[in-house]
């Protein structure tokens, strides 16, 4: 891993073993999750989690605009959880990260490998290397040339990393790992893949993570990403439609969306058209996937993110795409501590995909 003169180590891909809490800082909330190992069976246990809302525009486009508000939300979430662990793993959105798969000669010594990666990075990163945090991981031998290795390069501007580290520090926490949101979601997806027939071996599975403003579609095959695309659709659009249709404030619209109590025509006039809009964007993303890659079939669509649990969304996507669709729940096969309310976790599970993947980093082999 390239350290250079960086003030903060950017552990996008490096494994880590200390006890850690996964912390997902999104545009609308912070989500905090702690997992443990069952002492006898060795399976994962959901110990505790918390979700704290953020003020509007505290985080936008992946950038922390209000450090104090984010730090305060982190502090509240950690206090509510009642955990003693202060080490956390956080993540950057894909939009803040430049990632590239490169091919290098096999058999390089570590120093030579780092030098080669840094040389390659100059071609792909539009910033001076002293302005970025950089990491890489050897994927394995090139499938096309046994004399080469495939290396995943990831880089982000230092300010993106430092803001998240500073927010955690201000809340009394210590960021040990900085990951990338799609990579964290991929890790959590492994908990879902085992629930699919045959582990979805040699099948393409599209994970559609629907956030407030952007839907990230990541197509995975045997646990590896083969395609990724962002579509401009998200839960904020539904909130705005509720506001304009019923003359509500942003806070009232958001509360009605989550807790109910909206007028009787909400389903027909607002929710149903929004569901169809999301389903159409998922279908478009799949068409882009088919035309951009060698693949022509997706076996499953997995809906994640805050919007995934909207009533009927999975059915709308399945109808539009003609692909089996399920709502993400990486905790389905995990044990739950006595602190966890199963029904509430089921409702929150799709929004906790990134936090789950980050929390799992404590179990990565060193």
Residues 85/35, Cβ–Cβ less than 8 Å: no
DSSP 196-227: SGGGGTT-EEEEEEE-SS-EEEEEEETTEEEE
56/163 same-domain check = yes
pLDDT at residue number 148: 87
> Does residue 143 sit in the same domain as residue 274?
no
Tell me the mean pLDDT in the region 126-148: 82
Same domain? 336 vs 239 = no
**What CATH number does residue 270 fall under?**
3.30.420.40
- Are 25 and 157 found together in one domain? yes
- Which phi and psi angles does 171 have, rounded to 5°? -90, 5
Tell me the C-alpha distance between 226 and 213, whole Å.
23
What total number of domains does the chain contain?
Answer: 2
Nearest in space to 320 (alpha carbons), one of 285, 353, 291: 285
Task: Compute the distance between CA of residue 309 and CA of residue 348 in angstroms, rounded to an integer.
Answer: 8
What is the predicted pLDDT for the residue at 96?
A: 84
According to DSSP, residue 267 is labeled I
Give the pLDDT band (50/70/90) at residue 17.
low
Looking at the structure, tell me whether residues 74 and 188 fall in a common domain: yes
C-alpha span between 298 and 301 (Å, rounded): 8
Work out the percent of the chain whose per-residue pLDDT is above 70. 95
- When mean pLDDT is compared across 17-21, 53-57, 124-128, 331-335, the lowest value belongs to 124-128
Could you tell me if 190 and 328 are in contact, meaning their C-beta atoms sit under 8 angstroms apart? no
pLDDT at 365: 59
Backbone angles phi, psi at 267, to 5 degrees: -60, -50
Confidence category of residue 2, pLDDT binned at 50, 70, 90: very low
Are residues 28 and 51 both part of a single domain? yes
The neighbouring-strand residues paired with 134 are: 155
Tell me: do 276 and 305 sit in the same domain.
yes
Q: Are residues 176 and 31 in the same domain?
A: yes
Domain that holds residue 121: 1-195+332-366
Q: Report the candidate in 183, 206, 201, 215 with the shortest Cα–Cα distance to residue 324.
A: 206
Tokens representing 267?
């389903």
**pTM across the whole model:** 0.87
Whose tokens are 């300010």? That residue is 159
DSSP strand pairing (87-92 vs 21-25): parallel
Residues 25 and 110 placed together within one structural domain of the fold: yes
User: Among 45-59, 70-84, 146-160, whose mean pLDDT is lowest?
Assistant: 146-160
Does residue 207 sit in the same domain as residue 190? no
Same domain for 49 and 178, yes or no, is yes
What are the contacts of 59-67 at 24+ separation with CB within 8 A? 59/25, 59/26, 59/27, 59/28, 60/27, 61/27, 61/95, 62/27, 62/92, 62/93, 62/95, 62/96, 62/160, 63/96, 63/160, 63/163, 64/25, 64/163, 64/164, 64/167, 67/163, 67/166, 67/167, 67/170
Residues 123 and 6 placed together within one structural domain of the fold? yes
């Amino acid at each position: 891993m390239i350290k250079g003169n960086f003030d903060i180590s950017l552990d996008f891909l490096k494994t880590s073993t200390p006890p850690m809490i996964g912390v997902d800082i999104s545009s609308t909330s912070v989500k905090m999750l702690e997992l443990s190992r069952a002492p006898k069976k060795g399976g994962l246990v959901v110990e505790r989690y918390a979700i704290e809302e953020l003020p509007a525009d505290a985080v936008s486009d992946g950038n922390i605009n209000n450090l104090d508000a984010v730090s305060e939300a982190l502090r509240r979430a950690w206090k509510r959880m009642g955990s003693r662990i202060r080490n956390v793993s956080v993540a950057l959105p894909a939009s803040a990260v430049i990632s590239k798969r490169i091919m290098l000669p096999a058999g390089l010594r570590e120093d030579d490998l780092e030098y080669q990666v840094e040389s390659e990075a100059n071609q792909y990163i539009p910033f001076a290397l002293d302005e970025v945090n950089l990491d890489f991981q050897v994927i394995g031998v090139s499938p096309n040339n046994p004399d080469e290795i495939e290396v995943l390069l990831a880089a982000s501007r230092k300010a993106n990393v430092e803001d998240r580290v500073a927010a955690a520090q201000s809340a009394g926490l210590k960021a040990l790992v900085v990951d990338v949101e799609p990579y964290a979601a991929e890790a959590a997806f492994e908990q879902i893949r085992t629930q699919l027939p045959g582990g979805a071996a040699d099948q393409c599975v599209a994970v559609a993570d629907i956030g407030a403003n952007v839907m990230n579609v990541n197509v995975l095959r045997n646990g590896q990403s083969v395609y990724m695309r962002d579509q401009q659709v998200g839960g904020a659009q539904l909130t705005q439609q509720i506001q304009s249709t019923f003359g509500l404030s942003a806070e009232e619209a958001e509360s009605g969306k989550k807790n109910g109590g909206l007028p009787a025509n909400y389903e027909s006039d607002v929710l149903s058209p929004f569901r169809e809009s999301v389903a159409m964007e998922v279908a478009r993303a799949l068409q882009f996937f088919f035309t951009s890659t060698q693949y022509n079939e997706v076996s499953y669509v997995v809906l994640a993110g805050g919007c995934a649990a909207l009533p009927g969304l999975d059915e709308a996507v399945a109808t539009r795409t003609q692909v089996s669709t399920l709502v993400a729940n990486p905790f389905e096969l995990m044990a739950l501590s006595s602190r966890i309310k199963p029904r509430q976790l089921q409702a929150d599970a799709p929004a906790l995909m990134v936090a789950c993947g980050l929390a799992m980093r404590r179990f990565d082999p060193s």
